[in-house]
Structure 1
Amino acid sequence: MSWTSAAIRDASRAGDYGRVVHLARRGAGLSQKELGDACGVSQSAVSRLEQRGANGVYDTKTLARAAAHLQLPPHLVGLADHAAALAANADTDGSVERRNFLGGAVAVAAAPAVAAFKAATTEPAAADGGPAATLRVVTGGYRRLDGTTPARQLVKPVLEHLELTQSLAKGVQDHAQRNRLAAVGSEVASLAGWLSWDMGDYGSARTWYGAAVKSARRSGQPLLAAYQLGSLAQFEAHAGNAQQGLSLAQSARKALGDRPPVIADAWLASVEALCHAAAGDAEASDDSLKTAIRFADRVTNDSTPWPWVFTFNESKVAATRVACGARLGRSDWISSAQDSATAVLSSGHEKQRALLILDVASGHLASGRIDGAFALATGALEIGLRFRSGRIVERARALRRSYATPRSLPRVVREFDDRLYEVFL
């Protein structure tokens, strides 16, 4: 099987590096024992590696050696080129375990990044090499940790990562290298904005999203600039600033140009739907959602990649319809789209799942199913408290405000109130 196959690329994008190795090994006609012998590990170690999944913990050295033997580009198993070389050539056991991308990134983030930077200033670098490659992999690791880690724990190292990226960019003379570092800086700033938003710090979120837009423009990558403008539009829509969100979405459209990738069109249409819903315009929101699903139907494994966006498909559009329905008080939208949004509701990103559950709870509430609404909301609130997510807690408070309190509160509402009122984040 070629490493360019859709199945391998899909597994890599999902962070399931064990499946990447499994598919490549089968394609090469090798047994697990043969690959293990080539990598200096047992057959059972290869078997365990292949079964770790998207949330597994990977050994950097084994991944790198497997990729080298199977002639897989290191990025398909979450490693930068020079990070893979360091790991594959290590003489000691050096088992560095980190979640997802961090298995191949954080362990080599500091010194190798500086070393690669120095090399890049004296030698020509490949388009995907140099310090930008290392920094981007680390950024991907932090993004994946966001699904399982409180934002308050991540924001400090992410901001330090941003400072490192910016400081390296200042000393680069090569124009192409400087642009690549500006692109990485944009991605890191966007992540800082997302984390600030999760903490309920809207002022910092706007600052970092704005910085992401500026860096994207400096990078000379219109697609990245469009994504960051769209991300800021999405934030403003959720914050209730509909017109500002629509204006930013329009700017993102202009940045995309005349022939954007279909996945970009699909995602941006969903952002526009959220903005229209925030403005209370159900008809315009529905039109944008229909546009989004029409483009999403055309997204294939061979579509132009948008590497800083997770998979966007019909399930994501359905989740957006649920979110729009919650803001418009349209329980029919929520009930009709809930089943199609199952992939998002069952995703490993607990914080995003909690937000969607609160939107589903809004649909139950609008339909008069009080017990079901607050049972769902209580479960989502517990996730928010575990991650100390200000965004989830505030969304839970908004749900409670939308419920007209009767003289006699149902027990499930009283229990929800008791849990919510003791929260101080």
Structure 2
Amino acid sequence: MNWLEGAAAEAASAGDYGRVIELARDAARMTQRQLAEACGLSQPTVSRLEKRGVADYNMKTLAKAARHLGIPLALVGLADARTAPPARADRASPTARAEKPDPLHRRRFLAGAIAAATIPAAVTASRLSPGPEEQAEVLRGATSAFRRMDASVSARQLADAVQGHLRLVRSVAAQSADQPARARLASVTSEVASFSAWLSWDMADAGSARTWYGEALRLARRSGDELLIAYQQGSLAQFEVEAGNAAQGLGLIQGAWRLLEGRRPAIAAAWLRSLEAVAHATAGDQRAAERALAASEAAAGRVRAGEEPPWPWVFTFDQRKLAAARVIGEARLARPHRVLSSPDDAQTVLTFPHEKQRAMLGLDVARGHLAAGRLDVAYAVATPCLDTGLRLGSGRVIEGARAFRRGYASTSPPAFVRDFDLRLRDAYR
């Protein structure tokens, strides 16, 4: 079976390791029961493994199946042979072993997942060991894979793996004697530092987030890539606005605009204008916020459907992100009727594909219902958002839920509010 192309490589790149197992099992003409018996597992365990999709996997179960089927471990996110030690007879039953969480191997799994995620970039090179010009692309692909995993993986779990990746990128950059390659590697390091800032922010560690954003901006300037510098200034601006420093954020955004004179990809213009709209709304400037939002909408209309976003953007700017900017802006301007009078926007943000961002946006919608006196609807929207924050350990979401809760005071709150308070207490456990 050719592991480097076709459905198996596509599934590995997407992080769907169960699908890789299923394809290999079918190619070997084995049933699920036969594979289970060969690996000392149960048939239902193999079935669950194959249908898990893009999610967390039990490393020992995954490694057993991969080894028996002859699958390269990197293709199922396992770069370290120590991830799956041989089974011992005195362990629990096969089913219990498969279902028990394996937190000790989570860091190795996340690091290994990047090996699989970057296979397509690595195999397109003319040789297995990338040269100076190829190193940046390979490392950049790994960073993009981490950024995609942020949608549904706890920042705390990702942070250790990302720090290890950052050390690798820095080491490769330090050893490079080629100046153009060093500039490219500086841009890759900048992206990793920026993502580290985002993870720190998600963990409610504002001090570390600000430090990492500063490092990302410094490295972007060293790289000389003006589009990257503008992106990092916009990212720092977004953080400062959320931290309550709207004026500073607006200054950073204006600086980013000056950098992009003559080179303004539609996605960059749409994104920066949406950040500007939220910053003006946070500062209470309704007219400026509306102008910036209109400009963002016009730029978003120039982003062609299906067009790959230019690096350093990993995700495109679409109507969902435009709807998100509108909802956030109206919430900051304390105009709940505008949020609720646009049901399409409210519904759009509640189906946002990024779980953590969807939770934050849902809390803004909930604030609109709360301000309009719809207490039961507000908490019906806010409660699953809080649950997402608790499940993924997102400090930003949990703090957003606390801010939402402060919007209602009563000496005898209804049962659903008391239930919300109990959930908030779970954040301390």
Q: Secondary structure of 1:105's partner?
A: helix
Q: Which runs of 5+ in 2 are unaligned?
A: 25-68, 79-109
| CA–CA separation in structure 2 for the residues paired with 1:118 and 1:276 | 50
Q: TM-score, normalised by structure 1?
A: 0.73
Equivalent position to 1:300, from 304, 326, 347: 304
Aligned counterparts, 1:249-268, within 5 A: 249-268=253-272
Percent identity (aligned)? 46
Contact 2:173 2:182 in 1 (8 A): yes
Contact 1:361 1:372 in 2 (8 A): yes
Contact 1:262 1:303 in 2 (8 A): no
| CA–CA separation in structure 1 for the residues paired with 2:171 and 2:10 | 38
| CA–CA separation in structure 1 for the residues paired with 2:174 and 2:3 | 42
Contact 2:308 2:316 in 1 (8 A): no
4+ residue runs of structure 1 moved beyond 4 angstroms?
A: 38-41, 48-55, 101-104, 116-120, 301-304, 341-344
Aligned counterparts, 1:278-289, within 5 A: 278-289=282-293
Count of aligned residue pairs for this structure pair: 346
Q: TM-score, normalised by structure 2?
A: 0.72
Equivalent position to 2:405, from 400, 407, 414: 400
Deviates more, 1:337-346 or 1:380-389: 337-346
Aligned counterparts, 1:215-230, within 5 A: 215-230=219-234
Structure 1 counterpart of 2:336: 331
Q: Secondary structure of 1:339's partner?
A: helix
Aligned counterparts, 1:10-409, within 5 A: 39=2, 46=7, 56-57=16-17, 59=20, 93-94=71-72, 96-98=75-77, 105-107=114-116, 125-126=132-133, 129=134, 131-301=135-305, 305-309=309-313, 310-340=315-345, 342-403=347-408, 405-409=409-413
| CA–CA separation in structure 1 for the residues paired with 2:11 and 2:242 | 38
| CA–CA separation in structure 2 for the residues paired with 1:215 and 1:248 | 16
Q: Which amino acid aligns with 2:369?
A: H
Structure 1 counterpart of 2:415: 411
Q: Residue by residue, what CA displacement relative to the aligned partner does 1:20-66 show, whole Å, maximum 9, x if unpaired?
A: xxxxxxxxxxxxxxxxxx9489xxx95x8889996734649x99xxx
| CA–CA separation in structure 2 for the residues paired with 1:382 and 1:340 | 22
Q: Which amino acid aligns with 2:165?
A: H
Q: Which amino acid aligns with 2:71?
A: D
- CA spacing shift, 1:337–1:211, aligned 2, 3 Å: farther
| CA–CA separation in structure 2 for the residues paired with 1:219 and 1:118 | 26
| CA–CA separation in structure 2 for the residues paired with 1:366 and 1:55 | 41
Contact 2:190 2:216 in 1 (8 A): yes
Superposed CA RMSD in Å reads 3.5
- CA spacing shift, 1:53–1:107, aligned 2, 3 Å: closer
Q: CA deviation at 1:378?
A: 1.3
Contact 2:117 2:145 in 1 (8 A): no
Q: CA deviation at 1:423?
A: 2.5
Q: Residue by residue, what CA displacement relative to the aligned partner does 1:155-198 show, whole Å, maximum 9, x if unpaired?
A: 11111211221122122121110111011001100110000000
Q: Which amino acid aligns with 1:383?
A: T
Q: Which runs of 5+ in 1 are unaligned?
A: 1-37, 64-90
